[in-house]
């Protein structure tokens, strides 16, 4: 790519005059890039400046320099709050469960889908499986709550019909079921969508490999094990590492929508905790301390994941 | 040899059985909830309480839809949702395609800086509360702008379009340049028309994101009825029912029924909110599959 494109480059000279000359030449490029870079600076980088709030006793309406500095007071408060450890546990639990399920199930589904010989059927199932990805979490949460409800919910009806249970389970009111419900909802919503990349990787495997295997008398299952699976292993590793990087940044959307007061001990994530006990109560400094903790942990996870990734593939994702 | 073949065909048959069983389960588990909601939304609301509705309405009626469309919040919400989807998508396309074009130009002086600067935004985040304070300080609370402006620049979208432009022959740009076209003309006349497939993908992502968003309404415009969105209205209806159900547990049934908006109305709103997307996405499938694979390879 670079070899083709360098033809447009004039001779590089490292003097100020040539810099400004080129700057003028590229004025349209600058005009197309600079406004958006400034934009990204305001909305993505400026909030980091807001982290100072966590070390101040922030009062709305006062300027930055008039705020009172309190050092690590809010972090000390945070680490003494039982709710914080509860929120941390919930965040980690739901992240890890979501990571495992959201990583393994799409691989299995992609491999199975690839084995469907009838192309029309394959396309139909694919299109259907993308559907939940496109609806909002508000809609998904409404549907899931309906399906799991005790009066005429499809899941309870099915389990009762099969005589697995004798009376409806109150899915949405049981704290110990909440993590599982969130994970299952995520799987229901995103599995189809997450197969796209794997299906693309599978379609890149040469058909001659399968032909050779068939000639050697390999069964379909053996073909999956020895051709399809090794063929997508690289993609699997990359996607796994990338999802580890996003491990703790699960936010609060699902938990907010699917949770209720009865399951709060299991539904409150760090972000939801910041929303309820920071923003909701006007404790901006305390809430910011929660956000900082969350960000720092996810950056550490990202670098750890990237370090492992580098060791395995000699490449970096950041 | 024959024995081996027979064994293989047996295991193949079981394998096929597993495959078709699995895709049937997935298809039913995905489609049934939607069909069920659709059926209830067209079913008489008092009849629905009896239960047993599956995928077709038992007592057909449009009344649920009439009820919800009489509610003014829904009309405003619909207008604002359409508006933010159209404006947000257009603005997002302009910003992403312009940035992608400048990044695809290897001779661009600031290329490395801009590229790193954008890539970092995918990983650093100030968090909920600093962002909230920023929006407040910028006086964007209670404005329409808060829906389309903060998310205007998305690094992921930029990189997807950039990898697409990288795949185009560079000679096109060179010959345009020789003809005396400036960089903006090259972007507008040469690059944009050729980038349509990638733009279609990004437009779909942006539009779905805008249509489905509700947290910004909740955080910044929650008390402003004129700026409500469809998703936010649906969220209020669904949340009010679940929290009421908590509060009213133990009281008598008629009192609860008076407080809770009937299930069918809830389902009707769900359908209204979902249908626009369902109409659009199957037609764009070709594009987003391509866009997803492009994005994952390069970014």
What pLDDT does residue B213 have? Answer: 94
Mean pLDDT of B261-270: 81
* Contact call for residues B102 and B111 (beta carbons, < 8 A): yes
Put simply, the answer to whether B128 touches A299 (Cβ < 8 Å) is: no
With a cut of 90, say whether residue A137 has pLDDT above it.
yes
Do the strands A56-57 and A68-69 form a parallel or antiparallel pair, or are they unpaired? antiparallel
With a cut of 60, say whether residue B257 has pLDDT above it.
no
Put simply, the answer to whether B26 touches A129 (Cβ < 8 Å) is: yes
| Angstroms from B269 CA to nearest CA on chain A | 9
Task: Tell me which of A87-91, A110-114, B140-144, B253-257 is least confident.
Answer: B253-257
With a cut of 70, say whether residue A251 has pLDDT above it.
yes
Alpha helices in chain A (DSSP H): 2-5, 16-25, 27-40, 46-49, 73-80, 82-114, 119-134, 137-147, 154-161, 175-203, 207-215, 220-223, 229-231, 233-245, 253-258, 264-267, 270-274, 284-313
The model's pTM is: 0.86
Put simply, the answer to whether B238 touches A28 (Cβ < 8 Å) is: no
| Angstroms from B9 CA to nearest CA on chain A | 7
The whole-chain average pLDDT of chain B stands at 84
| Angstroms from B103 CA to nearest CA on chain A | 9
**Residue A69: pLDDT band with limits 50, 70, 90:** confident
Q: What pairs with residue A56 in β-bridges?
A: A69
Distances (CA, A) of A117 to A113, B60, B285: 9, 39, 20
The tokens 């019909």 sit on which residue? A161
What pLDDT does residue A65 have? Answer: 78
With a cut of 50, say whether residue A165 has pLDDT above it.
yes
What pLDDT does residue B24 have? Answer: 94
**Residue B139: pLDDT band with limits 50, 70, 90:** very high
Centroid of chain to Cα A281:
28
What are A266-310's pLDDT values in tens digits?
999 999 999 988 888 888 999 999 999 988 888 887 787 778 777
What pLDDT does residue B259 have? Answer: 44
Q: Is the minimum CB–CB distance between A297 and chain B shorter than 8 Å?
A: no
* Listed residue (A86, A156, A91, A130) closest to B27, CA to CA: A130
Q: Is the minimum CB–CB distance between B146 and chain A shorter than 8 Å?
A: no
What pLDDT does residue B248 have? Answer: 41
**Residue B175: pLDDT band with limits 50, 70, 90:** confident
With a cut of 50, say whether residue B214 has pLDDT above it.
yes
- Other Cβ atoms closer than 10 A to B254: 8
Tokens, residue B182: 């400036």
What pLDDT does residue B260 have? Answer: 45
Which chain A positions have a beta carbon within 8 Å of B133's beta carbon?
A: 50, 53, 284
Q: Which of residues 69-128 of A touch B (CB under 8 A)?
A: 109, 112-113, 115-116, 121, 124-128
Supply the DSSP string of B203-250, one letter for each residue.
HHHHHHHHHH--HHHHHHSTT-GGG--HHHHHHHHHHHHHHHHHHTTT
Q: What pairs with residue A69 in β-bridges?
A: A56
Cα A269 to Cα A255: distance, rounded to the nearest angstrom: 7
Q: Is the minimum CB–CB distance between B37 and chain A shorter than 8 Å?
A: yes
With a cut of 80, say whether residue A314 has pLDDT above it.
no
What are A12-38's pLDDT values in tens digits?
555 677 888 888 888 899 999 999 999
With a cut of 80, say whether residue B17 has pLDDT above it.
yes
Mean pLDDT of A66-70: 83
What pLDDT does residue B296 have? Answer: 55
Of all residues in chain B, the percent with pLDDT exceeding 90 is: 40
Q: Which of A271-285, B40-54, B259-273 has maximum average pLDDT?
A: A271-285
Tell me the HSE value of A264 on the side-chain side, using a 13 A CA sphere: 10
Cα B270 to Cα A172: distance, rounded to the nearest angstrom: 19
Q: Which of A162-166, B1-5, B78-82 has maximum average pLDDT?
A: B78-82
**Residue B220: pLDDT band with limits 50, 70, 90:** very high
Put simply, the answer to whether B125 touches A47 (Cβ < 8 Å) is: yes
With a cut of 50, say whether residue B298 has pLDDT above it.
no
Residue B70 burial by CB count (10 A; 0-12/13-18/19+): exposed, middle or buried?
A: exposed
With a cut of 50, say whether residue B245 has pLDDT above it.
no
Which of B8, B242, B273 lies at the smallest CB-CB distance from A217? Answer: B8
* Listed residue (B37, B211, B212) closest to A136, CA to CA: B212
Q: Is the minimum CB–CB distance between B242 and chain A shorter than 8 Å?
A: yes
The whole-chain average pLDDT of chain A stands at 85
Put simply, the answer to whether B22 touches A261 (Cβ < 8 Å) is: no
What pLDDT does residue B4 have? Answer: 54
With a cut of 60, say whether residue A143 has pLDDT above it.
yes
With a cut of 90, say whether residue A218 has pLDDT above it.
no
Task: Tell me which of A160-174, A291-305, B166-180 is least confident.
Answer: A291-305
**Residue B232: pLDDT band with limits 50, 70, 90:** very high
Q: What pairs with residue B60 in β-bridges?
A: B43
| Angstroms from B25 CA to nearest CA on chain A | 11
With a cut of 90, say whether residue B265 has pLDDT above it.
no
Which chain A positions have a beta carbon within 8 Å of B29's beta carbon?
A: 188
Tokens, residue B273: 């909110």
Tell me the HSE value of B134 on the side-chain side, using a 13 A CA sphere: 23
pLDDT: is B291 or B185 the higher one? B185
Which chain A positions have a beta carbon within 8 Å of B273's beta carbon?
A: 136, 138-139
- Other Cβ atoms closer than 10 A to B38: 19
Q: Which of residues 59-88 of B touch A (CB under 8 A)?
A: none
Q: What is the ipTM of this complex?
A: 0.85
Put simply, the answer to whether A43 touches B184 (Cβ < 8 Å) is: no
The residues, any chain, with a CB within 8 Å of residue A207's CB and separated by 6 or more, are: none
pLDDT: is A213 or A61 the higher one? A213
Mean pLDDT of A167-185: 91
């Amino acid at each position: 790519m670079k070899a083709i494109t360098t033809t447009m480059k004039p001779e590089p000279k490292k003097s100020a005059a040539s810099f400004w000359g080129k700057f003028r030449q590229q004025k349209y490029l600058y005009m197309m890039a600079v406004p958006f870079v400034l934009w990204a600076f305001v909305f993505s980088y400026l909030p980091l400046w807001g982290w100072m709030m966590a070390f101040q006793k922030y009062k709305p309406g006062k300027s930055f320099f008039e705020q009172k500095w309190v050092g690590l007071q809010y972090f000390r408060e945070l680490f003494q709050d039982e709710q914080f450890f509860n929120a941390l546990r919930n965040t980690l639990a739901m992240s890890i469960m979501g990571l495992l399920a959201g990583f393994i199930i799409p691989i299995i589904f992609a491999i199975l889908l690839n084995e469907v010989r009838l192309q029309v059927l394959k396309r139909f199932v694919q299109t259907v499986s993308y559907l939940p990805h496109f609806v909002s979490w508000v809609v998904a949460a409404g549907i899931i709550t309906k399906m799991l409800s005790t009066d005429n919910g499809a899941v309870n009806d099915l389990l009762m019909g099969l005589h697995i249970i004798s009376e409806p389970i109150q899915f949405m009111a049981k704290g110990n079921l909440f993590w599982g419900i969130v994970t299952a909802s995520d799987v229901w919503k995103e599995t189809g969508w997450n197969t796209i990349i794997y299906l693309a990787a599978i379609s890149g495997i040469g058909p001659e490999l399968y032909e050779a295997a068939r000639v050697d008398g390999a069964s379909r299952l053996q073909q999956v094990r020895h051709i399809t699976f090794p063929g997508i292993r690289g993609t699997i590793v990359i996607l796994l590492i990338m999802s580890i990087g996003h491990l703790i940044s699960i936010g609060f959307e699902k938990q907010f929508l699917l949770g209720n007061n009865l399951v709060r001990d299991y539904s409150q994530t760090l972000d939801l905790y910041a929303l309820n006990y920071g923003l909701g109560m006007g404790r901006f400094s305390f809430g910011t301390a929660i956000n900082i903790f969350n960000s720092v942990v996810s950056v550490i996870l990202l670098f750890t994941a990237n370090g492992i990734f580098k060791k395995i593939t000699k490449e970096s994702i950041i | 040899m024959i024995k081996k073949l027979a064994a293989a065909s047996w295991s193949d048959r079981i394998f096929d059985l597993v495959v078709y069983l699995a895709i049937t389960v997935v298809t039913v588990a995905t489609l049934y909830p939607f069909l069920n909601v659709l059926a209830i939304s067209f079913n008489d609301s008092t009849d629905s309480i009896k239960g047993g509705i599956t995928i077709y309405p038992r007592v057909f009626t449009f009344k649920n839809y009439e009820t919800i469309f009489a509610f003014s919040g829904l009309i405003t919400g619909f207008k604002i949702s359409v508006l933010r989807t159209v404006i947000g998508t257009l603005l997002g396309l302009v910003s992403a395609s312009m940035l992608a074009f400048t990044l695809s130009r290897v001779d661009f002086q600031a290329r490395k800086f801009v590229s790193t600067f954008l890539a970092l935004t995918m990983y650093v985040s100030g968090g909920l509360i600093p962002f909230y304070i920023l929006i407040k300080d910028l006086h964007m609370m209670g404005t329409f702008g808060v829906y389309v402006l903060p998310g205007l620049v998305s690094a992921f979208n930029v990189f997807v379009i950039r990898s697409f432009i990288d795949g185009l022959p560079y000679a096109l740009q060179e010959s345009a340049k020789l003809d005396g076209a400036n960089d903006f003309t090259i972007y507008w006349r040469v690059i944009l028309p050729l980038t349509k497939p990638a733009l279609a993908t990004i437009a779909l992502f942006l539009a779905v994101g805008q249509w489905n968003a509700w947290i910004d309404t909740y955080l910044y415009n929650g008390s402003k009825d004129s700026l409500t969105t469809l998703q936010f209205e649906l969220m209020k209806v669904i949340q009010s029912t679940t929290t009421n159900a908590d509060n009213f547990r133990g009281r008598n049934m008629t009192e609860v029924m008076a407080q809770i908006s009937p299930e069918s109305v809830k389902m009707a709103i769900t359908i209204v909110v979902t249908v626009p997307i369902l109409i659009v996405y199957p037609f764009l499938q070709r594009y987003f599959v391509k866009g997803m694979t492009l994005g994952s390879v390069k970014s």
